[in-house]
Amino acid sequence: MKFWFIAGSQRMYGEGILQRVEANAMEICRELAERLPYPVQYMGMVLDSGIAVDLIKSANSQDDCAGIITFCHTFSPSKMWINGLALLQKPWCHLHTQFNREIPDDIDMDYMNLHQSAHGDREHGYIGARMGLARKVIAGHWKDVSVATRLSKWQRACVGAAASRATRVMRFGDNMREVAVTDGDKVGAQIQFGWQVNTTPVGTLVEAMRAVTPAQVDGKIEEYRSRYVLGQANPESVRYQATEEIAIQGLLDADGSTAFSNTFEDLYGLRQLPGLATQNLMAKGYGYGGEGDWKTAALTAIVKKMGGPATFMEDYTYDLKNGLSLGAHMLEVCPSVAEGTPVIEVHNLGIGDREPPARLVFEGKAGPAAVMTLLDLGGRFRLILQDIVCVAPTQKMPSLPVARVMWKPLPSLEAGAECWIMAGGGHHTVLSHGVDAEIMRDWARVMGVEFLRIGAGTDPDAFERELRLSEIIWRKA
Ligand code: MN
């Protein structure tokens, strides 16, 4: 994926000035291309309405263009941009910078006319606001670390938006019976996010498992040995999980799916709930949601595309004394968030009425992270993100042989939970060490959905008011 850089000017300035604007824009691109995770390419200068239309049309038509960055070095009258921007289908960042950082002592009117983004970018900002177009505005000198940092976050959000449009989720079984928050409108999600969410019978998976050869399973066991520690695990149970993993991945890849869900209520023909199998697939970048939670499955896959460790997670149990939350699932937590090397173990599972499944057991690594959840409010979606600090577990918990993560929710366990519950956030989340509130806010802006953040500065009273105002802002016309 790459990003298009488009400069704004006008012919009034004359050829000499335009050449300098173009050369400076190209220098900015060269600098940014070195600092950002994705390439930035100078694609031209808007000097009239026809150029704007042509540039935006071609940006729209290029699959590898993840977004456009615009900058008005000089004044670029915005009526020239309207017909182009009206067609824009790619994410837009308005970079408000200036070629020279400082004002020279010999400044004259010629200098002022060339270096006038303070002037030109305001005209440019007006038309974005006037047309009501979603855009990210970043201000600062183009060599500043903060500008590169924020642009790189926006780039990652755009890559996530492109990944969203290409996401297919394979559902083995339906939503868990009677559960509300994990359910939702799949047609609405496809319109909003581009997700194609379709069902595949569990029987198809059982048949695909029959086609897996012992040699394939041997290869998978070797892979497990190279990545994990084989603990006190029944080898047959591990081989069964390997067979499940090979079959699930085969079905996903053949379908072009990047995420999947299943449910312990529909394991017909399966001897074990996929545990190790699901965990290793998540480690490879596939999204997953338990109990038929296709929304979290899709979001996990997309957050993984944006980079960094990320996993399907579930809020489970509190340590109210120390203000900590203990998150886990029956089995399916991604080892990308593990501290140390995960251990493969086989233990009984009280739920699902199947054989004891092999799973990876580990503690989550410490450090700042975020949990996020996507809910369907009927006719629209809401993304909630909470800042958390993952901590080393305060207890040994030897009778809990599952992967688990302990964290301190911000602003506090109680205030954070009040806000989360007030907003309707569910128990399933994506936990990520790789994305933060700015990236997810940028992603939500591109996708056109409400974004709520619960963090260090959140006050439940103000948050409740934000929720009520949001109902007005996001109400469908
Ligand atoms: Mn669950």
| Ligand 1 center from residue 421 Cα (angstroms) | 17
pLDDT of residue 232: 78
| Ligand 1 center from residue 406 Cα (angstroms) | 17
| Ligand 1 center from residue 144 Cα (angstroms) | 43
pLDDT of residue 352: 78
Phi, psi of 455 (to 5 degrees): -150, -165
| Ligand 1 center from residue 431 Cα (angstroms) | 14
pLDDT of residue 58: 98
Residue ranges of the alpha helices (H) in 257-369?
Answer: 276-283, 294-306
| Ligand 1 center from residue 295 Cα (angstroms) | 13
| Ligand 1 center from residue 331 Cα (angstroms) | 10
| Ligand 1 center from residue 372 Cα (angstroms) | 15
Domains (range + CATH), the chain:
2-164 (3.40.50.10940), 166-474 (3.20.14)
206 in helix, strand or coil? helix
Instruction: Tell me the sheet residues that pair with 138.
Output: 95
Q: Is residue 129 exposed (0-12), middle (13-18) or buried (19+ Cβ within 10 Å)?
A: exposed
Residue ranges of the alpha helices (H) in 166-289?
Answer: 186-193, 202-210, 214-227, 235-255, 276-283
449 in helix, strand or coil? coil
Separation between Cα atoms, residue 67 and residue 32, nearest integer Å: 15
pLDDT of residue 147: 98
Separation between Cα atoms, residue 167 and residue 259, nearest integer Å: 8
Q: What is the mean pLDDT of each run of 10 residues along the chain (477 residues)?
A: 97 95 97 96 97 98 98 97 98 98 96 94 98 98 98 98 98 96 98 98 98 98 97 91 98 98 95 97 98 98 97 97 96 97 94 90 98 96 98 93 97 98 98 98 98 98 96 83
| Ligand 1 center from residue 354 Cα (angstroms) | 17
Token pair recorded at residue 141? 């000198």
pTM passes above 0.85: yes
| Ligand 1 center from residue 374 Cα (angstroms) | 14
| Ligand 1 center from residue 459 Cα (angstroms) | 29
Separation between Cα atoms, residue 193 and residue 252, nearest integer Å: 19
Q: Which helix (H) or strand (E) holds 387?
A: strand 381-391
Exposed e or buried b per residue across 278-311, where buried means at least 16 C-beta atoms within 10 angstroms of its C-beta: bbbbbbeebbbbbbbbbbbbbbbbbbbbbbbbbb
| Ligand 1 center from residue 290 Cα (angstroms) | 5
| Ligand 1 center from residue 111 Cα (angstroms) | 62
pLDDT of residue 161: 98
By the 8 A CB rule, do 324 and 309 touch? Answer: no
pLDDT of residue 477: 58
For 282-310, write each residue's pLDDT tens digit.
999 999 999 999 999 999 999 999 999 99
| Ligand 1 center from residue 286 Cα (angstroms) | 17
| Ligand 1 center from residue 147 Cα (angstroms) | 39
| Ligand 1 center from residue 106 Cα (angstroms) | 67
| Ligand 1 center from residue 126 Cα (angstroms) | 46
Separation between Cα atoms, residue 371 and residue 381, nearest integer Å: 17
Separation between Cα atoms, residue 297 and residue 309, nearest integer Å: 15
